[in-house]
Amino acid sequence: MANRDDDSKFKRRSQQWFGKIDKDGFAHRSWMKNQGHPNDLFDGRPVIGICNTWSELNPCNAHFREIADFVKKGVWEAGGWPLEFPVMSTGEVLMRPTAMLYRNLVSMDVEESIRGNPIDGVVLLMGCDKTTPSLVMGASSCDIPTIGLSGGPMLKGRYKTETLGSGTGVWQMSEKVRGGFMKIEEFMDAEAGMHRSKGHCMTMGTASTMASMVESLGLSLPGNAAIPAVDAQRYRLAQLTGRRIVQMVHEDMRLSKILTRQAFENAIKTLAAIGGSTNAVVHLLAIAGRIGVNLKLDDFELGSAMPNIVDIQPSGQHLMEDFYYAGGLPAVLKIIGDSLHKDAITANGKTIWENVQNAEVYDPKVIRPLDNPFMANAGITILRGNLAPNGAVIKPSAATAKLLQHRGKAVVFETIEELHARINDESLDIDENSVMVLKNCGPKGYPGMAEVGNMPLPPKVLRKGISDMVRVSDARMSGTAYGTVVLHAAPEAAAGGPLAFVQTGDWITLDTAGRKLSMEVSDADLARRREGWTAPKPWLDRGYVKLYIDHVMGAETGADLDFLTGQSGTPVPRESH
Ligand code: FES
């Protein structure tokens, strides 16, 4: 790609601040000099923002100051000027009511931080689940040269002689405790071993799925998705990422040149091939909405015939560390290459196929060939019907095969609190053939569309040795979770979707092969049940929560705020002085 440095450096946006020979230029330069910056840094070289989601309240991203130091080295080496800036960090395990409530808020923080500052290019440091989509969404609305860098997954968890996957292991052990198969003391003991290194969840949960989406979209250097957080290779990649973003500024390689319709189609197929999280659906839709690519929920069917070729938790048995040493995402992309748009351009200036054509599989137990996949037809499936006219999703690779076609009577929980209050009640009229239905956990209802769709099973069912039932909700599910779980039912219950009117005892049919989710309730009965319905009262009626509830759109479009879709570029016509 042509180097546009010579003719563009004095038109670079950072020069609108630092290149002015007047009172404003004095102010911009002089205050920055209090950090010891010499005069020549203001000479028009690319100013690179390092957008950092470091926070001690977000353990998955707590090592990001170290990673940022390596990025800075690379930026300096390539002749740029790195300036690190913080944005709100959403840690999945601490933030209440759910980190997803704040994804759109962080995206605003990112967008306005980029636009309001003298930044020519940006490196996005991302790790824990929501930090990836929120940063990519915010940067997409600015559309300057941008490269992604993930923090990397943790090492494998260990407890006694067992390997533990983050999240997945918690679900498995807590169900064993509830079923009487594990002592609570052993459960507590496992805490210190499950997460024993820096990094994000090491299953193919949402964090690793989104890191894989970033790489398959072409937004990072090759290999970004799977290198463990503590492997020196992660820090080499950080340094190379710093070098590369400077070149991307010289080439004016904006995000919109990478995030094309072809790139999203590649990501959807990759999502299926890795058995990735259903959360990628809402995040990819939201990112597409920002950058201006026309992506719809039904486009995820592009991956439905793709086999899952990675044997990794929560669907399989291995973990991200195994995946990386087996060849990582480049090996997967090479195997599915004939299904990809091979000429999609990526952040290093090469096509995706040029990046992966020589990739190798080092462990075929982890990364399987197409003719002997871990699971056939594994992509996320979109369901519709009178229970979810705008769509719902299911991840067949995380489900029990025989439950994918199922008819059962609904057992309804109006709220998450009701679920918690009743699920352990031995008198609850429920068995393994029932369909558990949870309402009011969508974007407006929770608020924030919490990861509660994989409802815990009743103990009396667990004691029979049964570990899965059909569950339906407007919630999301953790990428580390599993089960025959229908998610994202839209319109959501709190917006008056049909889910709001399901009653205990209604027959529900899940027909995954036929892409149907329906309840045996006539339109006339539904209309009767709708009479007098009012939306549930929100938990807060002011501030960001009010803004969110008033403006959040449905899961079927990515649950972005209605006034945030699209992009505004980066012009800022007014000075502050
Ligand atoms: Fe941060 Fe899982 S809790 S990635």
Please give the distance, rounded to the nearest whole angstrom, from the Cα atom of residue 370 to the centre of ligand 1: 30
pLDDT at 1: 40
Q: From the alpha carbon of 478, which atom of ligand 1 is closest?
A: 2
Ligand 1 neighbour 5 (Cβ under 6 A): no
Which residue reads 């040029």 in tokens? Answer: 354
Radius of gyration of the chain measured on its C-alpha atoms: 24
Ligand 1 neighbour 92 (Cβ under 6 A): yes
pTM over 0.85: yes
Please give the distance, rounded to the nearest whole angstrom, from the Cα atom of residue 128 to the centre of ligand 1: 5
Strand order in the sheet with 81-86: 81-86, 47-52, 121-126, 146-150
**Residues with Cβ < 8 Å from 174, sequence gap 6 or more?**
187, 456
Nearest protein CA to atom 1 of ligand 1, as residue: 128
Per-residue pLDDT tens for 450-497?
999 999 999 999 999 999 999 999 999 988 788 999 999 999 999 999
CB 435 within 8 A of CB 452: no
Per-residue pLDDT tens for 367-385?
999 999 999 888 899 999 9
CB 101 within 8 A of CB 548: yes
pLDDT for residue 3 is more than 50: no
Pick from 61, 89, 98, 129 the residue to mutate for probing ligand 1's pocket: most ligand atoms within 8 Å of its CB.
129
Please give the distance, rounded to the nearest whole angstrom, from the Cα atom of residue 204 to the centre of ligand 1: 11
Ligand 1 neighbour 451 (Cβ under 6 A): no
Percent of the chain with pLDDT over 90: 87
Please give the distance, rounded to the nearest whole angstrom, from the Cα atom of residue 175 to the centre of ligand 1: 20
Q: From the alpha carbon of 59, which atom of ligand 1 is closest?
A: 1
**Mean pLDDT score across all residues of the chain:** 95
Q: How many Cα atoms sit within 13 Å of 334 on the Cβ side?
A: 18
Per-residue pLDDT tens for 286-307?
999 999 999 999 999 999 889 9
Pick from 64, 103, 166, 210 the residue to mutate for probing ligand 1's pocket: most ligand atoms within 8 Å of its CB.
166
Q: From the alpha carbon of 206, which atom of ligand 1 is closest?
A: 4
What's the angle, vertex CA 190, arms to CA 186 and CA 193, rounded to 5?
155
Give the helix, strand, coil percentages of the chain, each rounded to 5: 40, 15, 45
Q: Beta strand 47-52 with 121-126: parallel, antiparallel or unpaired?
A: parallel
CB 561 within 8 A of CB 443: no
Q: Which of 511, 553, 554, 518 is nearest to 394 (CA)?
A: 511
Ligand 1 neighbour 129 (Cβ under 6 A): yes
Tokens of 101: 């409530």
Nearest protein CA to atom 3 of ligand 1, as residue: 92
Per-residue pLDDT tens for 76-129?
999 999 999 999 999 999 999 999 999 999 999 999 999 999 999 999 999 999
Helix axis angle, 103-115 relative to 279-291, nearest 10°? 30
Ligand 1 neighbour 84 (Cβ under 6 A): no
Nearest protein CA to atom 2 of ligand 1, as residue: 201
Ligand 1 neighbour 207 (Cβ under 6 A): yes
pLDDT at 180: 86
Ligand 1 neighbour 13 (Cβ under 6 A): no
**Residues with Cβ < 8 Å from 7, sequence gap 6 or more?**
none
